[in-house]
A and B are shown apart, each in its own frame.
Chain A
Amino acid sequence: MAMLEVKDLQVSYGAIAAVRGVSFDLNQGEIIALIGANGAGKSTILRTISGLVKSKSGSIRFADKELTKTPAHKIVALGIAHVPEGRHVFSGLTVLENLKLGATLQNDEARKEENLKRVFSMFPRLEERITQKAGTLSGGEQQMLALGRAIMTDGKLMLLDEPSMGLAPIIVEEIFENILRINKNGTSILLIEQNANLALAVSSRAYVLENGIITIEGDSKELLVDERVKNAYLGA
């Protein structure tokens, strides 16, 4: 049975219909990708899953619980970690404070320490900068911090919204290596990327979103050679 199951999801901002009947699912341990042009509705889908935006209709089931009526901070408790577009680190707080806020709901001190060690082993640069204000970090470091914070929430599913945005290729590589490590450690991943090549390379399945509707879906390997995808998203 799927870990996450989205069915006929519709989301509007006032009169703007951003998501117009989207269905997809994700299995335990999988990385799936959601690709599509700017404004297609990708971020809106993630924001609705994590409860920041309310759906108009449809359902989102995660580990057998309905999320559409659940408040955002309770969805985190169910095991969904969302790394938002633009990173959204707490700029005036230190790196360590940011990471500890990720563990807001963690009552197991030993587990918290263990997760902190995991974060520092993935991103040694964060450990070197624990007392630095997050707002003074470089873009790449902020993305690492945003991922680190999500690891601290101890989620079973991670929603990643354009983790490569605005970063140099070498940093993107470092970040994606660690995303794969997070997945190997047992966390399922729903990945949004503008960089469709990258998204299809790391995911097992993918969905293409256009104007709030899924138009193409399939195994990532197949989509990499699909003419429609190649023309529209892979710059071939």
Chain B
Amino acid sequence: MTTFLQFLVYGVQLGSVYALLALGYSMVYGIVRMINMAHGDFLMIGALSAIFIAMGFSGFMVDGRYPFYIVLAIILSAMILTGLLGVLVEKIAYKPLRDRPRMSSLITAVGVSMFLQNFPRALPFIGPQPRPFPQLFPLIQFRLGGVVVTSTQIILIVVSIILMISLDAIVQKTKFGAQIRAVSFDKDASLLMGIDTNRVISYTFLIGAVLAAASGIFYASIYPQVDVYMGSWLGTKSFIAAVIGGIGSIRGAILGGFILGITEILATSINSNLGYGIGFVILIVILLIKPAGILGKTEIDKV
């Protein structure tokens, strides 16, 4: 039982990383009906930029550790930087193709992904080799019964959940959220309401990339190694999570992320090969039962 609970903690932790990343796939799909194949790479850019920003702040270290406000500054600047990159990618690569056949933007996204992976790889100060990720969060261990939980895990899980609840509240309750939902349902009708749909789409990419950066920083805080390819396989899994939950749905992405994270860890505890494939098994089973994913209805509630 305690081993199960211990694995559950790891599962929730990985699940929050998947969920944060899955949100971007889902929101972007909801609003422009495209699968942003480069979305996972924003996770890598987020983690990588945090490394370099942290290096820039190294003068502020006290006893080899960053003070709280510096950690906050590092994370926020990495998130903003990645968010702006997301907006830029949309403007330059996707927007010109918005009214073209789907295949064009899909291929373009694959190209963007390759660029985001290989451009930093080619830069001499980054390069292809994995880099260690700085320890940003305190690592105090707590024992609850036989289960060990670290302060890092608690921070990551709590902050992720706060981010997800805030996003859901923004989309469901605010005027801007209503605009996001309106554009996802009907772009022309949104224009006729006076909504600047291009601006709404830009903000959606911004939010997606900001959350991807957060998930990258959190992932790297657990497995402190960053390389240019990490976004690719984490992205694939989070995309699967988004589809399991029902792509286009915010709550679906969150649910799918946690389902995938938890089952993956539990399966890995049985057999490490099982862990890697379990996502696909769940995906296939869910899609056979509910082709639109768990919370994916044909349209309603979609972002």
Chain A residues near B (Cβ < 8 Å)? 50-52, 72-73, 76-77, 81-82, 84, 88-93, 97, 100-102, 104-105, 133, 135, 149, 153
Q: What's the interface size class on B, roughly?
A: 20 to 34
CB distance A72 to B191 under 8 Å?
yes
Q: Which residues of B contact A84 (CB under 8 A)?
A: 188-189, 192
Chain B 39-76, CB-CB to A under 8 Å as 1, else 0, gives: 00000000000000000000000000000000000000
For A50, give the chain B residue with the smallest CB separation: B192
Q: If the complex has contacts A84-B189, A88-B186, A93-B178, are A73 and B197 also in contact, measured as CB distance less than 8 A?
A: yes
Q: If the complex has contacts A97-B178, A101-B179, A104-B179, are A92 and B192 also in contact, measured as CB distance less than 8 A?
A: no
CB distance A89 to B189 under 8 Å?
yes
Cα A88 to Cα B183 with chains together (Å): 12
CB distance B194 to A104 under 8 Å?
yes
CB distance B181 to A90 under 8 Å?
yes
Interface centre among A91, A92, A133, by most chain B C-beta atoms within 10 angstroms, is: A92
Of B195, B196, B300, which contacts A91 at CB under 8 A? B300
CB distance A88 to B188 under 8 Å?
yes
Of A51, A72, A73, A92, which contacts B302 at CB under 8 A? A92
CB distance A90 to B189 under 8 Å?
yes
Q: Which residues of B contact A89 (CB under 8 A)?
A: 189
Of A81, A92, A101, A104, which contacts B299 at CB under 8 A? A92
For B302, give the chain A residue with the smallest CB separation: A92
Q: Which residues of A contact B191 (CB under 8 A)?
A: 50-52, 72-73, 76
Residue contacts A-B, CB under 8 angstroms, 8 given: A73-B191, A73-B194, A90-B185, A90-B189, A92-B301, A92-B302, A93-B181, A97-B181
In the A-B complex, the 9 residue pairs with the smallest Cβ-Cβ separation, listed nearest first, are A76-B194, A72-B191, A88-B189, A105-B194, A92-B300, A104-B194, A90-B185, A101-B193, A73-B196
Cα A188 to Cα B174 with chains together (Å): 33
Question: Contacts A90-B185, A92-B302 given; 17 further ones with Cβ under 8 A?
Answer: A50-B191, A52-B191, A52-B192, A72-B188, A77-B194, A81-B192, A84-B189, A91-B299, A92-B181, A92-B301, A93-B178, A97-B181, A100-B175, A101-B182, A104-B195, A105-B194, A149-B193
For A96, give the chain B residue with the smallest CB separation: B178
CB distance A72 to B181 under 8 Å?
no
Cα A88 to Cα B302 with chains together (Å): 16
Q: Which residues of A contact B185 (CB under 8 A)?
A: 90-93
Of B178, B197, B299, which contacts A100 at CB under 8 A? B178
CB distance A90 to B195 under 8 Å?
no
For B181, give the chain A residue with the smallest CB separation: A93
Q: Which residues of A contact B301 (CB under 8 A)?
A: 92
Cα A92 to Cα B300 with chains together (Å): 4
CB distance B192 to A72 under 8 Å?
yes
Residues B168-227 near A (CB distance < 8 A): 175, 178-179, 181-182, 185-186, 188-197
Minimal beta-carbon separation of A165 from chain B (angstroms): 16
Cα A234 to Cα B29 with chains together (Å): 47
Q: Which residues of A contact B188 (CB under 8 A)?
A: 52, 72, 84, 88
Cα A12 to Cα B201 with chains together (Å): 27
Interface centre among B185, B189, B300, B301, by most chain A C-beta atoms within 10 angstroms, is: B189
Cα A193 to Cα B299 with chains together (Å): 30
Cα A89 to Cα B190 with chains together (Å): 10
Cα A8 to Cα B299 with chains together (Å): 40
Q: Which residues of A contact B302 (CB under 8 A)?
A: 92
Cα A215 to Cα B190 with chains together (Å): 34
